[in-house]
């Protein structure tokens, strides 16, 4: 099993649609989880941290399921500007400051 696994996509969705991505991780001892977005040839930009209780930021909602070892990202009311690659990031135990990136899920929002 890969350390961090994501469906590469692409997910092609119309504007206004709701889309969800999942990411699975292999190490049950991982404690830190994040979603980043990356535009082509640009740096990753932090979208949100993922907490055990789940968290929401505007149109974006992240959830953590420790039992099944996955995190999810839900984007509501998709905008053209949401088109990007979404990266799942998890710390690699026993390290706290050592991180594994998923390969990313590509999203294309269509007009």
Nearest residue to 88 via CA among 109, 68, 63, 110: 63
In the complex, the smallest distance separating the C-beta of residue 45 from another protein, rounded to whole angstroms, is 7
Cis peptide before 84 (omega within 30 of 0): no
10 binds another protein, rule: CB under 8 A: no
104 binds another protein, rule: CB under 8 A: yes
Q: Which residues pair with 1 in a beta bridge?
A: none
For another protein, the closer CB: 50 or 109: 50
87 binds another protein, rule: CB under 8 A: yes
What is the distance between the alpha carbons of residues 64 and 50, in angstroms, rounded to a whole number?
6
What is the distance between the alpha carbons of residues 76 and 74, in angstroms, rounded to a whole number?
6
What is the distance between the alpha carbons of residues 5 and 23, in angstroms, rounded to a whole number?
6
Is there a contact between 17 and 107 (Cβ–Cβ < 8 Å)?
A: no
45 binds another protein, rule: CB under 8 A: yes
Q: Which stretch binds another protein (CB under 8 A): 19-27, 35-43, 56-64, 76-84?
A: 35-43
27 binds another protein, rule: CB under 8 A: no
Q: Which stretch binds another protein (CB under 8 A): 19-27, 31-39, 52-60, 69-77?
A: 31-39
Return residues touching another protein (CB under 8 A).
32, 34, 38, 41-46, 49, 87, 91-92, 95-104
């Amino acid at each position: 099993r890969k350390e961090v696994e994501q469906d590469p996509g692409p997910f092609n969705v119309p504007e206004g649609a709701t889309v969800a991505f999942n990411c699975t991780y292999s190490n049950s001892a991982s404690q830190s989880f994040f979603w980043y977005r990356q535009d082509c040839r640009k740096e990753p930009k932090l979208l949100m941290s993922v907490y055990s209780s789940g968290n929401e930021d505007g149109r974006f909602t992240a959830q953590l399921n420790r039992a099944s070892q996955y995190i999810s990202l839900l984007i509501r009311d998709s905008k053209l500007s949401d088109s990007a690659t979404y990266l799942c990031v998890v710390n690699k135990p026993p390290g706290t400051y050592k991180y594994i990136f998923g390969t990313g899920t590509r999203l294309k929002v269509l007009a």
